[in-house]
Amino acid sequence: MSPFEILFLVSLCGVPYSLYISSIWLYLLTLFFLYICLELTKRQRKEEIKINGRGVVISGCDTGFGHDLAKRLDVLGFTVFAGCLHPKGDGAKLLSKNTSKRVHIVSMDVGKDDSIAEALDYVKTKLPKKGIWGIVSNAGFNVMGDVEWLTIGLIHKVMNVNFYGMIRLTKAFLPFVRKSRGRVVIVSSVKGCYPCPGDSAYHVTKFALETVADSLRLEMIKFDVKVSVIEPGDFSTATACQNEIHFKRYKEEAEEMWREASESVRTTYGKRYLEAMIEKQSASLNSYPTTEPVIDALEDALINTTPRTRYLVGGTNKMFDINAIAAISPLSAWVRV
């Protein structure tokens, strides 16, 4: 433990005393200064692994975080197994075009056992000499809607990809990572840290990821495997979550919810309620313009010899990301609702 860390902990012990002195604001300012020094010290002490072509398996590389991470890791010298839902689609073709031969496009639907098994078989045939260093569970999607509106089918669908998909991917490739004493990195969300109306199915999956990651981290200590969680804020524009394809899906899901809703729910809410929900999502203009902050966090989780357990990454084009603030606030539930 560094002198700064010791000093910071000692300063925290003085919080109760500070309540009885008049210079509390000076005390808080000093505490904030010490915290900044602590963070700078940690960054200066950062040590990185030797990459040497180590393998990393990533899910959800058609677009967004997975796509951009595959390109970043290629530049760094990793052997990348980029899992794509549509291996012959535009996203996969673009990724293949813009990367070296170290990047392998792998057909991967994390929602299907057979697809993961086939991906595993493929990776075994292309296994680099240094083995598989990391698993990045990134694939996921959102289903919007109040609890009363959501169909059981839609809830199953989002759980199958966001949560069970992570379990499938991790269980398949964990033996390799255990052998290399590598990394498991799970892309969650700030929405795995606080509740929010109209997005419960997505929140449930992300809360589940947070919990299973903590359990897995404790289970992997004996194997010297480190587990990190990435919690991005609003990067919806940068990850193509606000394109026409997604809006079309949102509308189709809203129609499904309307068809399967009870007469009581239809009468109470009205169809305009669902339409307004889609319009609100379409009008969201606060997203961070690029994925770079999240890719930086993912990179650090993979190559830092002492990675963080959690990386909260604010994402907005404004001064503050209210979602990230809510994620660390003990009053988040009250504030959001």
User: What are the catalytic residues?
Assistant: 202
Assigned token pair, 171: 């269980």
Q: How many Cα atoms occupy the beta-carbon half-sphere of 302 within 13 Å?
A: 30
| Residue 185 near residue 137, CB atoms below 8 Å | yes
Rounded Cα distance between 79 and 75, Å, is 10
Q: At what angle do helices 64-76 and 292-303 cross, to 10 degrees?
A: 50
| Residue 64 near residue 239, CB atoms below 8 Å | yes
If you search the block for the tokens 């997203």, which residue do you land on? 287
Rounded Cα distance between 244 and 249, Å, is 9
| Residue 337 near residue 204, CB atoms below 8 Å | no
Strand 183-187 and strand 55-58: the pairing is unpaired
Cβ neighbours for 138, distance < 8 A, ≥ 6 positions apart: 58, 59, 60, 61, 64, 65, 66, 69, 187
Burial of 233 (0-12, 13-18, 19+ CB in 10 A): buried
Q: At what angle do helices 113-125 and 164-180 cross, to 10 degrees?
A: 20
Contacts 24+ apart (CB under 8 A), 192-196: 192/229, 192/231, 193/231, 193/326, 193/327, 193/328, 193/332, 194/326, 194/327, 194/329, 194/332, 194/333, 194/336, 195/332, 195/333, 195/336, 195/337, 196/336, 196/337
